[in-house]
Amino acid sequence: MNDLYSVLIADPIHADGRALLAADARFRVDVEGGLDEAALTARIPDYDALIVRSKTRVTRPVIAAATRLRAIGRAGIGVDNIDVAAATERGIVVFNTPDANATTTAELTLAHLLSLSRHLPQADRSVRQGEWQPARFSGVELAGKTIGIIGFGTIGRLVARRCAGLKMRVLAYDPFVAPEIMEQSAAEPAELDALLASSDYITLHCPLTDKTRNVINASRLAMMKPGVRIINCARGGLIDEAALVDALKSGHVAGAALDVYATEPPAGSPLLALDNVVLTPHLGASTEEAQRAVSLRVAQDVVRFLATGAAETAVNLPRVTSEQLARTIPYQQLAHALGRLVGSLYEGPITELVVRLFGRVAELDSRPITAEALVGLLSRRMTGRVNRVNAGHLAKLQGIEVRESRTENARDFVSLVEICAISGDKNTTVAGTLLGERHARLVRIDDYDVEAVPEGHFLFTRHHDQPGVVGALGEILGRENINISRMHVGVGDSSKTAIALISTSAPLSASALTEIRALPPIKQAVEFEL
């Protein structure tokens, strides 16, 4: 681990976020904004972490040049300015701050909701021009109206509860959120088409992905009630702006309030010429409280990840709380060792890796444990960076399918972690446990019971069960001036094949390993380090 971490802040963040990093003696912080792709590509090799907002684009070429980079922090929600896939491939964790500015964005949505209903921006301009035409700006009440919320994450839920407080009927659509969660926030679950057809107001709170791009297009606009009003404080690109302009001009859509655009700023957009549109310059997180909150959170996340590996808000890792992560760390370390072991023992291609958790460990979140088993396995077989960020991606490239299973029955152990590598009808299984929830022990290789601390250098053999094998191994190790720290010999049920697991003081030379493999009783001889 580095004694000093270097962090580049490429977009403005609140002074308190910068101060948090600067106050930590383990971090060196540089602030340099306005970097285009070429400039950022030239600068990035010197840094362990990069912090951005929405302006700086972290592209695949930038990530390819980031030889030291371990973390990218986005002070905000959307990460569409970051090539997350490229970061994942390189094992770089990407953070965002999904909840830090949620209240601010929800309140902006409510402000637009009221502005649309009562024509407040238009009325303000009229009075400033010396006019007095209250009848011209007659609006509508919110109470009793139906609002449809597309995307029901933290912001969507906050909007739902506030709209319910205004006596509105709330519909919600999100294919990834359970109906019970929606009902807890006073929303009725609805399919997208039904929501569009029933809502007087529609507000978007979903991320911009390939599936959600132009989710509001001409055909879906046509499904909406005449006189519908649309609000977008989420991401530009969710709405087909050309289709929206046509619907606004025809009157089918009575009004729209937009804080985000497909191109920002929306210079030359026909939206600018329409009077039934309220436009704001991406103000979603623009409050003092939100600016401070997102800056502090991203700084805290970068510090925590580089110092401890905790990644609660990572978008390319399973989200696990710090408390849960702390409980899994000893099992992650055990799984890593078991993954390295099975990767050493199984010398051919692997098509399937099965991670089985028994007993108390089965109560924990299995994802970090499985990820570390993959890291251990792949680190034996690949060059370059392998970590829990990119292990799943690399496994797919290797053609390895990963499966998990859990059961409370731990057989003879309080907890047991078992890793099985499979290809066709061949497989190798290793298992380990923790003594006192802390001390790792290897307890099984295939059908052989063993007991070993999974640390240091090892020699493993499968051999015919006959006298003289252990003596021959000892003689070769002695000539190499290698001490045997501990040895475990196991005999199979058939009594024809045995194994030897020997903990050694140093690695063997290539010639010594070749000599061992040439011994007539030896079927397999593998050296490895855990």
- Residues counted in the chain: 530
pLDDT at position 29 is 95
The DSSP letter of residue 507 is: P
pLDDT at 394: 83
Whole-model pTM above 0.85? Answer: no
H or E segment and range at residue 488: strand 484-491
Q: How much is the pLDDT for 495?
A: 61
Catalytic residue among 70, 235, 462, 463: 235
Nearest to 343 by CA among 392, 379, 308, 313: 379
Segment among 108-112, 249-253, 285-289, 518-522 with least mean pLDDT: 285-289
Give me the catalytic one of 282, 304, 381, 488.
282
Q: Alpha-carbon distance 110 to 104, whole Å?
A: 10
Our measurement of the distance from residue 379's CA atom to the centroid of its chain's CA atoms, rounded to an integer in Å, reads 21
**Contact at 8 Å (CB) between 430 and 342?**
yes
pLDDT confidence tier of residue 1, bands split at 50, 70 and 90: very low
What pLDDT score does 80 carry?
Answer: 85
235 catalytic? Reply is yes
Cα 353 from Cα 351, distance rounded (Å): 7
> Which pLDDT band holds residue 250 (cuts at 50, 70, 90)?
very high
Tell me what pLDDT residue 367 has.
87
Asked if 72 and 49 count as a contact pair (C-beta separation under 8 A), the reply is yes
**CA max distance for the chain:** 108
Q: Quick check: 369 and 358 in contact, CB under 8 A?
A: no
Residues 28-56 pLDDT 10s: 999 999 999 999 999 999 999 999 998 89
Average predicted confidence (pLDDT) for the chain: 91
- The tokens for 453 are 């601390």
Q: How far apart are alpha carbons 244 and 271 in whole angstroms?
A: 9
Q: Is the pLDDT of residue 322 over 90?
A: no
Write out pLDDT tens, residues 389-448. 888 888 887 888 999 998 888 678 899 999 999 988 889 999 999 998 789 999 999 989
Catalytic residue among 131, 141, 191, 264: 264
Active site residue 282: yes
Q: Is 444 among the residues known to form the active site?
A: no
What percent of the chain clears pLDDT 70, i.e. is strictly above it? 97
- Looking at the DSSP bridge assignments, the partners of residue 216 are 239
- State residue 153's pLDDT score: 86
pLDDT band at 87 (very low <50, low <70, confident <90, very high): very high
pLDDT band at 321 (very low <50, low <70, confident <90, very high): low
CA dist., res. 374 & res. 385, Å (int): 13
**What is the arithmetic mean of pLDDT over 453-477?**
92
Tens-place pLDDT, residues 154-210: 899 999 999 999 999 999 999 888 888 899 999 999 999 999 999 999 999 998 888
Most confident by average pLDDT, 255-259, 287-291, 392-396, 454-458: 255-259
